[in-house]
Amino acid sequence: MQARATTTARYFKPDQMGTFVQALAKMGIKPDTGLEDAKSGRGGRVGPQENDWSTAEIMRCTDARGLLELVQQHGQSFKSIHVSAAWGQLSTMQSAGGGGDEGVVLQQLQVLTRAKMLEMGARGVANVVHSMARLHGSGRLSVDDDLVGELQARAKARAGDFKPQDVSGLMLALAKMGVKPDAGLVEAMQARATERAGGNTVTQLTPGGAPTFPWDPR
């Protein structure tokens, strides 16, 4: 496929070539020299972006020890997308009960989440809270009320960017952690869900703040 892309590179738009190379990066495949030259010739960035490479590395971690080593080595250069990916990957790993390497990773991810909070968009906030809920549900994470409050505030600030699935993911995750959403957040998310649905209700929030959904976004 790389060879075919190289020979037909002149028909690619720069963004299409970039998308192709990014897809290779997510599979852990380094573009060959010919493809890199062709990509450069199309005016795109040569090689995978750092965001794509490091996210792919996170997704290849299979246990808490590997993720901890990655966070310790690259955590200082993490962007919000990497923080979100690390939370998600940890939540899919076999439980270690929240102790040992897993406990250290959790502590460091909470620190990184606070550090990158202002970079997070709607999807990032929803994904982090969803991952936290999964970890909490398996007894691996205690709810940090302050951190959850900061995430709610960030969600409220970025309410205009939320898509219906992000709204449902966020509100359901809060409910699973036993967290009553901030009244302002409920109002903002309900308005956004109704707006994006074009009048078709996809998310309904009860007066007490507990959400009900026709599907589970996991």
> What does the H/E/C string look like for 97-132?
CCCHHHHHHHHHHHHHHHHCHHHCCHHHHHHHHHHH
Per-residue pLDDT at 191: 84
Per-residue pLDDT at 209: 44
Query: DSSP secondary-structure letter at 79?
Result: -
What gap in Å lies between CA 164 and CA 150, rounded to an integer? 21
Six token digits for residue 118: 């202002």
| CB 151, CB 128: distance < 8 Å | yes
Per-residue pLDDT at 197: 58
Question: What phi and psi values does residue 110 have, to the nearest 5 degrees?
Answer: -65, -40
Per-residue pLDDT at 54: 74
How many Cβ atoms sit within 10 Å of the Cβ of residue 141?
Answer: 23
Q: Where in the chain are the domains?
A: 1-48, 56-212
What gap in Å lies between CA 23 and CA 26, rounded to an integer? 5
Per-residue pLDDT of the chain (218 residues; tens, 9 = 90+): 646 545 554 545 545 555 655 666 656 676 655 544 444 444 444 344 445 557 889 999 999 999 999 999 999 999 999 999 999 999 999 876 667 899 999 999 999 999 999 999 999 999 999 999 999 999 999 999 999 999 999 999 999 999 888 888 999 999 999 999 999 999 998 888 777 655 554 444 443 444 443 323 33
